A and B are shown apart, each in its own frame.
Chain A
């Protein structure tokens, strides 16, 4: 007999086991009444996510635009330094 045959023998015996009874009705109904386990509705979350993504894209576009348009405040100093060293 190899290990897998032994395992199958064990399974054959285990299948004759009578599992203890459960009483889940009251607990399940209490949880249903409380709304626990209610699946999360995807649509409202998707709408919020889409609106957030649009707002983030607008802010990013404005930031890039502002960044490219803005002048470096230090840049103005260098020509003066150059002139002074001469």
Chain B
């Protein structure tokens, strides 16, 4: 079986070690899947960080991604590196998490922004928390589009592929998201709070 599975994947796009471990995982080799997790966990964890900053929730999200990946590994066609496919799974898992959360009406507080002298001097962690707090005020589809554009360097086409949306839909959501975000930032007096008014 492993040889047949290996032949399915494009050797130019899928890393050789990944190909071996995917084939073994599909054959029920748990250790091979554990190796896949360890190899790709940093990338998945970095992406899930943009969905939640809560350590327990994030740990669970990363687990969700790999559990979902395991049960749909047979659907991985191998026409792109495994990491791309895992990012797609992670994006969908994160989006579902936001949708569940938005039903409960949870919104991150913007908190106290310590005004730095210049944007480059701002603490990256404080900047990250502020960006996520502002984005959390957007509806999940718009929040997702901007999060992927800002933090995962995603093009409109990439977002459309990850979510199964059309490209015009992604463009429209990006436009609406920016417009809404500007209004939110004005309402929250972002420039004044950051001391960047001049």
B-binding segment of A2-10, A51-59, A62-70:
A2-10
For B49, B66, B67, B190, the residue with the greatest tally of chain A CB atoms inside 10 Å of its CB is B67
Residues from chain B with Cβ under 8 Å of A32 in the complex: 30, 33, 66-67, 70-71
Do B181 and A28 touch (CB < 8 A)?
Answer: no
Do A27 and B59 touch (CB < 8 A)?
Answer: yes
Do A17 and B30 touch (CB < 8 A)?
Answer: no
Interface residue B62 (Cβ < 8 Å from any Cβ of A) = yes
Total contacts A-B at CB 8 Å: 118
CA distance A6 to B178 in the complex (A): 12
Do A7 and B63 touch (CB < 8 A)?
Answer: no
Interface residue B125 (Cβ < 8 Å from any Cβ of A) = yes
CA distance A32 to B130 in the complex (A): 35
Do A6 and B194 touch (CB < 8 A)?
Answer: yes
Interface residue B131 (Cβ < 8 Å from any Cβ of A) = yes
CA distance A3 to B137 in the complex (A): 15
Do A11 and B150 touch (CB < 8 A)?
Answer: yes
Interface residue B127 (Cβ < 8 Å from any Cβ of A) = yes
Do B59 and A22 touch (CB < 8 A)?
Answer: yes
Count of A interface residues, CB-CB < 8 Å:
32
Closest A residue to B62 by beta carbon equals A24
Q: How large is the interface on B (under 10, 10 to 19, 20 to 34, 35 or more residues)?
A: 35 or more
Do B185 and A21 touch (CB < 8 A)?
Answer: no
For A9, A10, A20, A39, the residue with the greatest tally of chain B CB atoms inside 10 Å of its CB is A10
CA distance A28 to B44 in the complex (A): 13
Do B63 and A27 touch (CB < 8 A)?
Answer: yes
Asked, given contacts A2-B182, A9-B119, whether A36 binds B150 with beta carbons under 8 Å apart, the answer is no
Do B42 and A21 touch (CB < 8 A)?
Answer: yes
CA distance A51 to B48 in the complex (A): 43
Closest A residue to B183 by beta carbon equals A3
Interface residue B7 (Cβ < 8 Å from any Cβ of A) = no
CA distance A83 to B150 in the complex (A): 89
Show 11 A/B contacts (Cβ-Cβ < 8 Å), sorted by A.
A3-B185, A7-B181, A10-B131, A13-B128, A14-B124, A19-B45, A20-B49, A24-B66, A25-B66, A27-B60, A37-B64
